[in-house]
Amino acid sequence: MKAIRQVLRYVKGTKDYGITYKHNGGNKIHGYSDSSYGVNNQEGKGTTGIILYYGESPIRWNTQKQATVALSSCESKFIVATAAATQALWLKRLLSKLTHFEEYKVTIRVDNKSAIALMKNPVFHERSKHIDMKYQFIREYVEREDIQVEFVSEEYQKANILTKALPKIRFQTMRQLIGLKNLRSSICD
Tell me the per-residue pLDDT of 132-146, one tens digit each, with 9 for 90 and over: 566 677 788 888 888
H/E segment holding residue 119: helix 113-120
Residue 188, pLDDT above cutoff 60: no
Pairing verdict, β 106-110 and 29-36: parallel
Band of residue 81 on the pLDDT scale cut at 50, 70, 90: very high
Question: Is there a contact between 180 and 141 (Cβ–Cβ < 8 Å)?
Answer: no
Give percent above pLDDT 90 in the chain.
24
Pairing verdict, β 29-36 and 47-54: antiparallel
Question: Is there a contact between 45 and 69 (Cβ–Cβ < 8 Å)?
Answer: yes
Residue 32, pLDDT above cutoff 80: yes
- pLDDT recorded at residue 17: 86
Band of residue 40 on the pLDDT scale cut at 50, 70, 90: low
User: 36, exposed or middle or buried, with CB in 10 Å at 0-12, 13-18, 19+?
Assistant: buried
Residue spans of the domains in the chain: they are 25-183
- pLDDT recorded at residue 186: 59
Pick from 85, 91, 59: nearest CA to 150? 85
Min mean pLDDT across 12-26, 44-58, 163-177 is at 12-26
Give the residues across from 36 on adjacent strands: 47
- pLDDT recorded at residue 67: 73
Report the top-level CATH class of 25-183.
alpha beta
